[in-house]
A and B are shown apart, each in its own frame.
Chain A
Amino acid sequence: MRVKGLFPLLSLLLVLTAMVSLALGKYPVPLKDIARYFGFRLFGVGNISPEYYQILGNLLMDIRLPRILAAILIGASLSVSGAAFQAMFVNPLVSPGLLGVLAGASFGAALGMVFSKSWLAVQTCSFLFGFVAVLISVGIAKMHKGNTILLLVLGGVISGALFTSLLSIIKYIADPYNQLPAIVQWLMGGLSLVDRITVFAVGVPQIAGILMICLFSGYLNVLSMGDEEARALGIPVEWVRMLLIFLATLISALTVVVAGMIGWVGLIIPHIARILVGPNNKILIPASALIGAIYLIVVDDVSRLLFNVEVPIGITTSLIGIPFFAFILKKARRGWN
């Protein structure tokens, strides 16, 4: 199959992109110095002046590496949950926010910013409301009898609209000098506030979630044939679907916790991956993870470097993503017609 060499290639590309991005910034560090720094830090080989070692340590380990790792985790999470939702809802135009997780998490973050000074409280609140929004969608779908997929989509529309309005209320009552700008900036998405502890705290469940979805990817193929066929093949459809929704919600809520709202990634990357590797979810899901990670590192580099001030990454992903999507639409349609 033509996909054989693709995973090593994508992995290599990911590592290279991450390395180059470590070097890039307002204060460029030559790749040679990065190699020297890591050589000294990890293996104690080579020599490096203590001051320079200090500077590099601060720049690479405290600022750039957490940020790059966060970009990898967020890009992979959004792409994987987007691809999983597209298969599960048998619709290639679906994105991770379908069941309201992003709207809920945004509301939660804004609520936290208004009522608490603690950053941890903001993040926890954001995460919890991401889940609350999805629970509301699922609850609405369960209340009625009928086509589960359609009811879930409607539930998501309702829940998303609810939390968007609630967010407006928060914005309206927020202090317009300090809180409102903070909320608005958060909603535009950004990786500048990322620190090492958050990356580790969030990274473990995200990686676990992504791996679990990869393990379930064979079921995604069958779910996209429709519920009845999947059940006739002996699959506990409701159970598998709820588990997948839970995992997708977990990983995408955590992206909001780290970096606010980042749109378009979860819609575009699965399409690009589908063009490259085809629609089989067993290959598509891991490919989406890798491509999404590479994409978000690159977009974050653009955000950091293109102008004198940093552009919020949510804006950059949209500005790059929208024309790109319009451009590949013709090619992408071949993937689902």
Chain B
Amino acid sequence: MELKPIIRTEGITFGYTDRPVLRNIDLAITKGEVVTLLGPNGCGKSTLIKVMLGLLNPEKGRVFYNGKDINHIGPKSLARDIAYVPQIHKMPFPYAVIDVVLMGRIPHKRFFFRYSKEDMDIAYNALERLSISHLAERPYTNISGGERQLTLIARALAQGARTLIMDEPASGLDYGNQLRLLEQIIRLSREGYTFIKSTHFPEHALWVADRAIMIKDSVILADGPCDDVINSEQLYHLYNVKVSVMKLNGSLRVCVPETICGCMAFGATG
């Protein structure tokens, strides 16, 4: 069955001055997919994400949303369908969590706006769906990194977007919060949300994503179902480290770094 892609890129080429960051990237992402972008630092993951959101204009190539060039879609109507969940960041102003979530309603408002009762309900509902209603009145600057990331996801839900594009959502989170974040992504993807996210952890792709796209030296190195693409050979190409991908009793796969095993073995015998 051939599904029409929700987001499609065509020959995206992007460069800061003369150094190419992306070369000829062709991608098609289908509704409901969870896609993970993998690649070493500076490979162009973030740039690709910003190009797909229409935040950066590529030198060559185009991005289509539902078959329409995103440059021809108004920014507000694009924001009603696609949400950007940025990396958690420091903020000087301690806005209440609910006020941050309410910002997601702006694409639905006229130019001069007040938030209505309905907007408030939608924002509170978004918090509830991520089980963080208790944070509503807390200052955004005073909650943990994981809670901040969930707040930004709640904002994306309040936005009404069905496609969430996330730039390294797990970075800066502690271990527990990383896992809780992944659980929420799995839950929302079952409800039909589409996710495109970048990460530095291949395991996060193995655990929650259907599909992995590996980017190295500004081109796509591999693109396919996680179980096929994420193997020790490809990870070696991508990161230049030896890693075995092992299957545990269930169906879960884990990455075991061989070099570290080697060091430990050497330490024990030496």
Closest B residue to A232 using CB positions: B84
Nearest chain A CB to B36 CB, angstrom units: 20
- A308 beta carbon closer than 8 Å to chain B: no
Inter-chain contact A229/B95, CB cutoff 8 Å:
no
Contact with B along A183-217 (1 / 0, CB 8 A): 00000000000000000000000000000000110
Inter-chain contact B93/A232, CB cutoff 8 Å:
no
**CA distance in complex: A334, B234 (Å):** 48
B contact residues around A326 at 8 Å (CB): none
**CA distance in complex: A87, B74 (Å):** 26
B contact residues around A226 at 8 Å (CB): 86, 89
Inter-chain contact A229/B93, CB cutoff 8 Å:
no
- B132 beta carbon closer than 8 Å to chain A: no
B contact residues around A231 at 8 Å (CB): 55, 75
Contact with A along B77-89 (1 / 0, CB 8 A): 1111001101001
Inter-chain contact A233/B106, CB cutoff 8 Å:
yes
Known: A233-B79, A236-B75. A280 touches B86 (CB 8 A): no
Partner of B95, one of A232, A235, A280, A334: A280
Nearest chain B CB to A155 CB, angstrom units: 21
- A90 beta carbon closer than 8 Å to chain B: yes
Closest B residue to A337 using CB positions: B141
Inter-chain contact B55/A279, CB cutoff 8 Å:
no
**CA distance in complex: A92, B103 (Å):** 20
Known: A218-B106, A233-B106, A234-B78. A335 touches B93 (CB 8 A): yes
Interface size counted on chain B using CB atoms at 8 A = 32
- A225 beta carbon closer than 8 Å to chain B: yes
Closest B residue to A237 using CB positions: B75
Inter-chain contact A232/B92, CB cutoff 8 Å:
no
Interface size counted on chain A using CB atoms at 8 A = 28
Which residues 75-108 of A sit at the B interface, judged by CB distance below 8 A? 87, 90-92
A contact residues around B114 at 8 Å (CB): 218
Partner of B55, one of A215, A219, A232: A232
- B242 beta carbon closer than 8 Å to chain A: no
Nearest chain A CB to B90 CB, angstrom units: 9
Known: A228-B50, A229-B84, A229-B86. A234 touches B75 (CB 8 A): yes
Known: A233-B103, A234-B106. A336 touches B92 (CB 8 A): yes
Closest A residue to B98 using CB positions: A280
- A164 beta carbon closer than 8 Å to chain B: no
**CA distance in complex: A231, B56 (Å):** 11
- B159 beta carbon closer than 8 Å to chain A: yes
B contact residues around A236 at 8 Å (CB): 75
Inter-chain contact A279/B95, CB cutoff 8 Å:
yes
Nearest chain A CB to B92 CB, angstrom units: 4
Inter-chain contact B103/A221, CB cutoff 8 Å:
yes
Contact with A along B60-79 (1 / 0, CB 8 A): 00000000000000111111
- A222 beta carbon closer than 8 Å to chain B: yes
Known: A87-B93, A233-B159, A336-B92. A221 touches B78 (CB 8 A): no
* Residue from A87, A231, A234 whose CB has the most chain B CB atoms within 10 Å: A234
- A224 beta carbon closer than 8 Å to chain B: yes
**CA distance in complex: A215, B77 (Å):** 22
- A39 beta carbon closer than 8 Å to chain B: no
Known: A233-B159, A235-B75, A337-B141. A228 touches B93 (CB 8 A): no
Which residues 90-135 of A sit at the B interface, judged by CB distance below 8 A? 90-92
Inter-chain contact A218/B113, CB cutoff 8 Å:
yes
- A278 beta carbon closer than 8 Å to chain B: yes
**CA distance in complex: A179, B14 (Å):** 59
Which residues 35-78 of A sit at the B interface, judged by CB distance below 8 A? none
Inter-chain contact B103/A222, CB cutoff 8 Å:
yes
- B26 beta carbon closer than 8 Å to chain A: no
**CA distance in complex: A228, B114 (Å):** 23
- B186 beta carbon closer than 8 Å to chain A: no
- B205 beta carbon closer than 8 Å to chain A: no
Closest B residue to A335 using CB positions: B94
Contact with A along B103-119 (1 / 0, CB 8 A): 11011000011110000
Known: A218-B113, A234-B106. A280 touches B96 (CB 8 A): yes
Which residues 228-267 of A sit at the B interface, judged by CB distance below 8 A? 228-229, 231-236
- B53 beta carbon closer than 8 Å to chain A: yes
- B99 beta carbon closer than 8 Å to chain A: yes
Nearest chain B CB to A84 CB, angstrom units: 13
- B91 beta carbon closer than 8 Å to chain A: yes
Inter-chain contact B95/A215, CB cutoff 8 Å:
no
Nearest chain B CB to A14 CB, angstrom units: 24
Closest A residue to B104 using CB positions: A233
A contact residues around B93 at 8 Å (CB): 87, 90, 92, 224, 279, 335-336
B contact residues around A280 at 8 Å (CB): 95-96, 99
A contact residues around B115 at 8 Å (CB): 218
Inter-chain contact B106/A235, CB cutoff 8 Å:
yes
**CA distance in complex: A226, B152 (Å):** 14
Nearest chain A CB to B135 CB, angstrom units: 15
Inter-chain contact A228/B107, CB cutoff 8 Å:
no
Nearest chain B CB to A213 CB, angstrom units: 12
Extra contacts, 7 of them, besides A228-B84, A229-B86 (Cβ < 8 A), are A216-B112, A225-B100, A231-B55, A234-B79, A280-B96, A334-B94, A336-B94
- 4 A-B pairs closest in CB distance: A234-B79, A232-B84, A234-B76, A279-B93
- 14 A-B pairs within 8 Å (CB atoms) are namely A87-B93, A90-B93, A225-B100, A226-B86, A228-B55, A231-B75, A232-B86, A234-B76, A234-B79, A234-B80, A235-B106, A236-B75, A278-B96, A334-B94
